[in-house]
Amino acid sequence: MRIRTTSVFIAAIVLWATCGLLSQSLLAQSSSAKTWSLPQGTTVKDLGPRTYRFTVDYTTANTKGETLRRQRLTGEYARGLAGGEVVWKNVIEADADGSTGPFGGAQKRDFMEGFRYHNDLSSTLKPEFFKAFPPTAVFERNLVWDTGMIEHFGQDFFEHLKLNQPYHSISDDAVNMPDVGTFHNRDVVLEWIGRSQRNGQDCALINYQAFFNPLEIANGGMTLKGRSDYWGQIWVSVATKQIEYGTLNESVVGEMKLPGLAVAVVVLVLIVGNQISSVRELLHVLTYALVYANLTGAMGVLVLGGLAERFALRSPLVPVVAVGVIVLSALGCLLAQTLLMEIGFVIPQHFWAEYLHTLRVAIPLAVVFGLGAMVHGSLRGRVQLMEEKLHEKEVTEERARKLAAEARLRSLESRIHPHFLFNTLNSISSLIAVNPARAEQIVGRLAALLRASLDTSNQP
């Protein structure tokens, strides 16, 4: 029974961890879409500062697709400050050679620490806007411009979008980038493709793309002429029009001329993983995981072991564990979903849809992992039981050997009494002076007697 109890307890622990992981699936499922239209006449609701985390990977390659250099830029962007201002902090760059080389030491961009300005995309294109930036800080300027672009696409064209209908937001628009060059947006297409959830918010999921955009860069003695293709997705809260999450991918192909070179080099610059994601998303994921894991897992630990001990003697253990895992998964998910709704993480109208969606994933995984953990625990318990029996056998054998040695000693003592030995030795001592031959004979007979006694005591 101890083996069964241990294996069921481990199964309950695995159920605990599995339900914690399953909770994250709720964050990605689509909302029930009875009305497929975006609200009109709404404004962006800044209810306080919001912090986003950017990660940008620049990859430079040649025409053969061989990676020459990689550069990673990360930073924190906060909006919703007083007066409609935004601020940048902790902007760091790290470089690496080739496709697999490790990134070197991170270099903080001190000139962007606390860089604060009014959130207006057009103002960032004025020549004096980046006066505190070094002339060659192109990537850092891109952080500012890309942020404004994502917010511009997701918020300013929000009311114009219809489900699955491409919207041509910008056409033939030449943009002058101060101290960098020019960029020509040939045709920027936005498309609302559905609804999703991010950070506990109902979001409109918007695709954007723009291809074959002419590009010219002249900076720090380097010139680049080519084209840019960029695309990505934006999650926009339906209630607040805040950007909850965003991605940007860009491919730049062109001829680059470096200072001191007489010929141009054809290069490919791939910008991947430029993400704008709210730090609140991590808190939502942790909240979902903790609620589901603790409610469902705690029920498994407290209830599953007792049920197994009660029914294991009358029925096989595997069906008992399987049924217990299914029932506890359903009850635990229901309690977790109810609690999350009470604290505002789940919209009441979507309660049962999200609950049923979670069960479709939770029950199969819980059964598989729970039974697997039970088998593992059962085997482990049997190994421990065998080790205990082996240890007990070794202790018993050692005790038997000790008792045998003591018995042989007592047998020897019973055969040779001390007073007999002393009397014999005294007799031999007295005969040595008067009759040495007789004394020698008695010593020989005493030795034979002792040898015979020892041989007899050693016999089993």
pLDDT band at 30 (very low <50, low <70, confident <90, very high): very low
Q: Where are the domains of the chain?
A: 2-27+284-385, 50-278
> What 3-state class would DSSP assign to 38?
coil
Nearest partner of 317 among 388, 238, 381, judged by Cα: 381
pLDDT band at 263 (very low <50, low <70, confident <90, very high): very low
| Residue 217 and residue 138 in contact, taking contact as beta carbons nearer than 8 Å | yes
Distance CA 355, CA 348 (A): 11
- Amino acid identity at 177: M
What pLDDT is stored for residue 5 in this prediction? 46
pLDDT in tens, 57-97: 988 888 788 888 899 999 999 999 999 999 999 999 999 98
Nearest partner of 124 among 94, 97, 147, 103, judged by Cα: 147
Token pair belonging to 216:
């010219």
Distance CA 72, CA 51 (A): 20
Distance CA 341, CA 199 (A): 14
- Whether the per-residue pLDDT at 133 is higher than 90: the answer is yes
- Region 40-68: mean pLDDT is 87
> Which residue, chain included where needed, has tokens 């209630």?
239
pLDDT in tens, 444-458: 887 887 777 666 555
- Whether the per-residue pLDDT at 34 is higher than 70: the answer is no
Token pair belonging to 75:
């930073």
| Residue 81 and residue 280 in contact, taking contact as beta carbons nearer than 8 Å | no
What pLDDT is stored for residue 309 in this prediction? 57
What pLDDT is stored for residue 256 in this prediction? 79
Which residues have CB under 8 Å from 178's CB, separation 6+? Answer: 125, 126, 127, 129, 130
- Whether the per-residue pLDDT at 169 is higher than 60: the answer is yes
| End-to-end CA, the chain | 42
What's 101's DSSP letter? Answer: P
Q: Which long-range contacts (CB under 8 A, 24 or more apart) does 333-338 make?
A: 333/19, 333/292, 333/296, 333/358, 333/359, 333/362, 335/295, 335/296, 336/19, 336/23, 336/291, 336/292, 336/295, 336/296
Strand partners, 210: 230
- Region 290-294: mean pLDDT is 72
Distance CA 281, CA 182 (A): 36
Please report, for the chain, how many H helices and E strands are present, in that order.
8, 11
pLDDT band at 335 (very low <50, low <70, confident <90, very high): confident
With b for 16 or more beta-carbon neighbours within 10 A and e for fewer, the 325-342 pattern comes to bbebbbebbbbbbeebbe
Nearest partner of 178 among 124, 223, 111, judged by Cα: 124
pLDDT in tens, 97-118: 888 889 988 899 999 999 999 9
Distance CA 91, CA 85 (A): 18
pLDDT in tens, 304-323: 666 555 655 555 666 777 77
- State percent of the chain over pLDDT 70: 75
Q: What is the mean pLDDT of the chain?
A: 80
> Which residue, chain included where needed, has tokens 């930036």?
133
